[in-house]
Amino acid sequence: MRIIGQTEIAAIFGVTPRTINEWQDAGMPVAVQGGPGVPGEYDSEACIRWRVEREVAKVQGPETPKDRLARLQGDDLEMKLARERGKLIEKAAVEPAMRAAIVSARERVRNEPARIAAQMESLDRAGREALLRDLLDEVLTKLSRWQQVGTYDGEQQADECAA
């Protein structure tokens, strides 16, 4: 829930607006920074989460090297399991196809102005809008199918990537 003003967020926590200023200096999230005469906005969920994490950290104390190692090993295991389950893929496996799709869509849009301008001369506003909508739908469809390597109008994606 979005809260407007320090007074309102302070009331939720049962503290003064000055305490909210101090918490902001300590890292409490602010959704929209206020200014002179303009109240700030706070996401109450994010602020409560920050406050809870801060209090838990106080109780737990600083992270020891052993704790850090255990956390990093746990993170590594999570990444490995996500990769094995197909929930995480390497950037190198995605980037070439994504780049090719973006280049293909960009080139399609860049090559169309003259053709569309000529077609638009005889069209009314609704016709012009339909013509542009068709082009944009085609480009967005290409982008949505970025994983289907080699399916963009027979274009050579590798050549486009190099261009």
Report if residue 141 sits inside a domain.
yes
In a domain, 10, yes or no: yes
- pLDDT < 70 regions, the chain: 149-163
Separation CA 135–CA 116 (nearest Å): 9
Domain that holds residue 7: 2-60
Question: Of 80, 34, 68, 29, nearest to 52 (Cα)?
Answer: 29
Task: Please report whether residue 81 resides in a domain.
Answer: no
Q: Number of H helices and number of E strands within the chain?
A: 8, 2
Residue with tokens 């109240």: 39
Residues 56, 97 share a domain: no
Residues 10, 51: contact at Cβ < 8 Å? no
Name the phi and psi angles at 92, rounded to 5: -65, -25
The pLDDT tens digits for 46-69 are: 999 999 999 988 888 788 899 899
Q: 122 in a domain, yes or no?
A: yes
Q: What is 92-123 written as a DSSP string?
A: HHHHHHHHHHHHHHHHHHHT-HHHHHHHHTT-
pLDDT of residue 158: 40
The CATH number that applies at residue 50 is 1.10.10.10
What token pair was written down for 60?
Answer: 């737990």
pLDDT score for 160: 41
| pLDDT score at 75 | 95
The number of residues in the chain equals 163
Residue 68 in domain: no
Domain count, the chain: 2
